[in-house]
Structure 1
Amino acid sequence: MKVIVLGAGVIGVTSAWYLAKLGHEVEVIDRQPAAAMETSFANAGQVSPGYSTPWAMPGLPRKALGWMLKKHSPLVIRPRVDFAMFRWMTQLLLNCNEHAYDINKTRMLRIAEYSRDCLTALRDETGITYNDRQRGLIQLFRTDEQVAHAQDDMRLLAESGVPHDLLDVERIIAREPGLAQARHLLKGGLFLPGDESGDAHMFTQRLAQKAEELGVTFRYETSIEALEPGATEILGVRTTAGRITGDAYVLALGSYSPLLLRPLGIRMPVYPVKGYSLTVPLTDESRAPVSTVNDETYKVAITRLGERIRIGGTAELTGYDLRLSPDRRQTLELSFSELFGGGDLSRATYWTGLRPNTPDGTPIVGPSGRFGNLWLNTGHGTLGWTMACGSGRLLADLIAGRRPNIPHLDLSIDRYAS
C-alpha cells in the first residue's frame, strides 16, 4: 500500500517509520527544507509520560483568572475575534471537572506510557542517539497547595501503574544538586523515574535518515494546498509540486491540521497554543540540571541536552502568530535564574512554536470517520515528543489492519461526535 504522510515533524516521521517497517511504500510531504523544523524544532526536550496531564482540570478557571493578574503568568490570552478559539475554550471549560479530568488523564497516561516503551524499543533496535538521558523527571512545587494537588495525580498514577515518589526538599537536591541555591523556594517535588529527556529535533532528523534507508521518500519544500475528496475516500493531495496520490493519507500537520480538514466538512477541535523556549550554553555544571525538572509555578521545563540547557514553556492563545514576545522570554529567564543559573542567558537562542492542543488534552489518533483512507495523527499539545512513537506505532497498526497493543477507540475523533 502507498501511504502519503502529510507533515515531517516528530509525529509525521515516526508514523512514516512504523509504516515503512510494516512494508508500506511511504511518501512524506512537508513545506520546510528538512524534518522537524517547526513545532518539533526546539521544544522542552522532555519525554514525560508521568507528567501527562490535561490542561482542563477542576479549578482551572479560577487559576487562570489569578494568572492573568501576574506579570509572569504561565497562560496569556491575546484578545482577538477568533471563533475557533472561543469554541475550543468552551470545550476546554466543559472538561474542567473531576470526572472528565480522571478520564482524560488516564487515557493520556495510556498512550504516553506505551509511547515511551516504543521509543525504548526503537532506540535498542536502531542505536539512535539524540542527547538522550533516562534519569527521570522532577515536578517542582513551590507552594503547599501544589503539593496537596499532587496527591490527586498520584492516585491516578498509581491506578495506571506509573512509578512515582513524592520527595521532600533534601531528596530533591540529592537528585538535582544544582537546585541547592533554590532550597528556600521549594516545598517538595514529584519524582517520575520512568520519564526521559532528549532533543526532539535531533531525534526526528536522525530517524528520518533511517526511514529513507527503509525506502521512505521525503518531499521537502512542498506546500500542501488541499485534499481532494471523493464520495467516500480521498482521491489525492494538491501541492505546489503537483497532484500526489496514494492508497491512504495520514494527516500529521499539528496545529495546521484543522485548516486542511475544514473544507472537507470535518471540524477538528485542535487549536494552536503558542509556546516558547530558550536554548542556553552550559557554563557551570554544578548549577545545571542533571536531567529535567518542571517548575510548577511558572509551568516551565528545564532540561539538560548535552552541553546545552533547554528552558521551555508558557502558553499563549494568539492564533497562528509566530512573533517572539519579550515578556515570555523574561518568564523563562526568571524560572531558570531562580532555580539553577548554570547557563549563559546572554547567548541563548530564543524560539517559539505552535502546539496543537485538543480541549481534553488527548491526541486524535485513528480514522477520520468520513473518508475511509484518511487517517489522523495530531492534537498532541505539549506532549508530541512524549507520545510520538506510540502514536506512530498505533496508527501504523490500524492502517495495516493489525490489532494495536493498547485500547484505542477513545483516542479517535469520534469522541467528539456528540
Structure 2
Amino acid sequence: MRIAIIGAGIAGVTSAFECAADGHQVTVFERRGSVAAEGSFANTGLATPAMALPWTQASFPRPGAGSLSWQWRRWRAERSKNRAEQQARLLQLAVYSHSRLQELRIRLQLDFERAEGQLLLLRQERDLRAIQAQLDLLQSLGLQQQFLSAEQCLALEPGLNPDTALHGGIQLSPAEVGNCRQFSHLMRIEAQRLDVRFRFHTTVRSLTPGSVATLIHEHTVPPEGLGPATRAPEKQDAGDTQPAPLGPVQDSFDAVLICAGASAVDLLQPLGLKPAMGLVHGYTITAPLRQLEAHPDLGPRAGVFDLREQVSISRIGQRVRVAGRIEPGAAPKSFKPSTLASLHRVLNDWFPGAMQVGQEQRWTGCQALLPDGLPLLGASGLPGIWLNLAQGAAHSLDWPLACGAARLLADQVSKRKTDTEAPEITGLDIARLA
C-alpha cells in the first residue's frame, strides 16, 4: 500500500516506522523543518504508563458558558459513571505502548538519554488519600506500586532536599524518563532505512476520502524566526532528494494517517469530522545539571512528580527538565513570569541549586485533547482516512501512548492480526463520539 502520514511528531514518526516495517511505501508530510518540532520538542520526557492517568482532579477546565462548551464536556466526562472503565482502557494502552517502546529500544539499539524510575512525591498524608482510586486501578491491572517513607524516598533520590516537608512517595513500575525528541530523531533514521520519505516544510492543504484518497500539499518555507522566542532554534533537516515543486501538488494514496496533533482540526472539519478536541498547553524549562564533586546527586536520578503542585522533574542525560502548569488553550509565545517562578520554586523545593539557570531553555508545547481524555485512534469513518490523535495525557503530553498506538493503527490499516497481548482498539476510535 501507498500510505501518507501527516505530521512528524512522536505519533507520526512511530506510525511511519510501523507501517514501513509492514512493507508499505510511506511518505511523511511535515510543515516544520524537522521531526518532533512542535508538541514533541521538549515535553516532560515521562514514558511511564501510570502517568497517562490524571493523578488528581484536574484544575481545568472549569465549566464555561453553555452546555456544549469543551470545558463543560470535560467537566462532565471527569464525573462519568464510565470513568473507571475509560481510565482502565487508557492504562492498558499505555502499558502496551511501554512494552513496544522497550522492544524497539532493544532491537534497534536506541539510546535516548533514558533513566529508569518514577516517584510520586506526597507532601502531606491527604495527598495519598486523594489518589487512592488511581492506586486501586493500578493494582487491579497488575502494575507495581510501592509506598515509600520519607527516609526511603531520600535513599532512592538522594538529591531530594531533606528540609522540604515530605510525607512519603509512591514508587511506580514500570517507569522511565527520556529524551522524546532524540527518540523521535532515532526513529526517523530507522524509518528512512525502510525507505520512508520525509517531506519537510510541506503543508497539507486538503484531503479527499476514497478507496484511493487524494491529498493536496504545498511546499511552504516558514519565515525566519518562526516559533516561540523562548525555545532553541529548530534544526533544519533535509527533505527527500527530489526538489520541491512550487505551488499545490496532488498525490494519491491507499491510506492517509492524520497524526497532526493540535493542527488536525483544520484538516478534519472540511471532511465533516468535528470531534470536540480542545487545546491544552504545558511549560517546560531545561538546563544542564550543576556538577559538584562534593555533591554528586544535586538533581534527580530519574523522574519525580510533585503531586500537589502537578509538576514533574526529570533527568534528561546531564540536564534537568521541570514541566507542568497544564492549561487550556493554545500555547502562548512566551512564559508568564508567574509560571516561570512557580516552576523554579518547585525545583528549588526538591533540588535546590541543581540547575545552571544561565543556560536555561524555556518551551511551551500544545496538544489536542478530547473531553474524555482518551486518544482518537483508528478508522475515521471515511474511506482511506485514519486517525492517530489526541494522545495528550494529563501530565506527559503524548509519549506514553505513542509506540503502542502506532503499532495498533498499523495493524488496522494492514488488516493484520494484532498481537494477542495488545489491548482492544475498540472504544478508542471516532465511533465513541457519535
On whether the aligned pair clears a TM of 0.5, the verdict is yes
Match of 2:267 among 260, 265, 269: 260
Distance change >3 Å, CA 373–CA 98, structure 1 → 2 = closer
Offset at residue 266 of structure 1 (A): 0.5
Partner of 2:427: 410
Tell me, what secondary structure is at the counterpart of 1:109?
Answer: helix
CA distance in 2, matches of 1:93, 1:100: 14
- Which residues of structure 2 form unaligned runs of 5+? 220-247
8 Å Cα contact 2:278-2:329 kept in structure 1: no
For 2:218, the equivalent position in structure 1 comes to: 239
CA–CA distance in 1 between the matches of 2:333 and 2:379? 30
- What does 1:193-208 align with in structure 2 at a 5 Å threshold? 193-208=173-188
Q: CA deviation at 1:126?
A: 0.4
Partner of 1:68: none
Equivalent residues of 1:322, 1:353 under 8 A apart: no
Deviations 1:63-95 (A, max 9, x none): x3xxxxxxxxxx588x999x9x96221211111
In the alignment, structure 1 residue 295 sits paired with structure 2 residue 306: yes
For residues 188 and 256 of structure 2, the distance between their equivalents in structure 1, rounded to whole angstroms, comes to 18
For 1:255 and 1:176, locate their aligned partners in 2 and report how far apart those are by CA, in whole Å: 36
Matched-pair identity in %: 31
Greater helix fraction, Structure 1 or Structure 2: 1
Map of 2:193 onto structure 1? 213
**Aligned residues, how many?**
395
Residue number among 347, 352, 356 corresponding to 1:336 in the alignment: 347
Q: Which runs of 5+ in 1 are unaligned?
A: 65-74
Distance 1:211 1:233 in 2: 24
Match of 1:70 in 2: none
Label 1:47 to 1:245 Cα distance change in 2 as closer, same or farther (>3 A). same
Matched ranges for 1:306-317 at <5 A? 306-317=317-328
Q: After the TM superposition, which residues 154-169 of structure 1 pair with which residues of structure 2 at under 5 Å, given as runs?
A: 154-169=135-150
> 1:251 and 1:322 mapped to 2: Cα distance?
26
> Pick from 404, 408, 416: which aligns with 1:394?
408
The answer as to whether partners of 1:76 and 1:315 remain within 8 angstroms in 2 is no
Query: Normalised by the size of structure 2, how large is the TM-score?
Result: 0.86
Please tell me whether the aligned partners of residues 31 and 222 of structure 1 are also in contact (alpha carbons under 8 angstroms): yes
Match of 2:122 among 141, 144, 158: 141
Code of the residue aligned with 2:409 in structure 1: it is L
CA RMSD of aligned residues (A): 2.2
Given the alignment of the two structures, is residue 352 of structure 1 paired with residue 359 of structure 2, yes or no? Answer: no
Question: C-alpha separation between the residues in 2 aligned to 1:260 and 1:364?
Answer: 15
Matches within 5 A, 1:13-412: 13-54=13-54, 60=58, 64=59, 87-97=69-79, 99-133=81-115, 135-182=116-163, 184-229=164-209, 234-240=213-219, 242-284=249-291, 285-319=296-330, 321-341=332-352, 342-369=354-381, 371-381=382-392, 382-404=396-418, 405-412=422-429
Contact 1:302 1:310 in 2 (8 A): yes
- The change in CA–CA distance for 1:363 and 1:407 in structure 2 (over 3 A counts) is same
| TM-score, scaled relative to structure 1 | 0.89
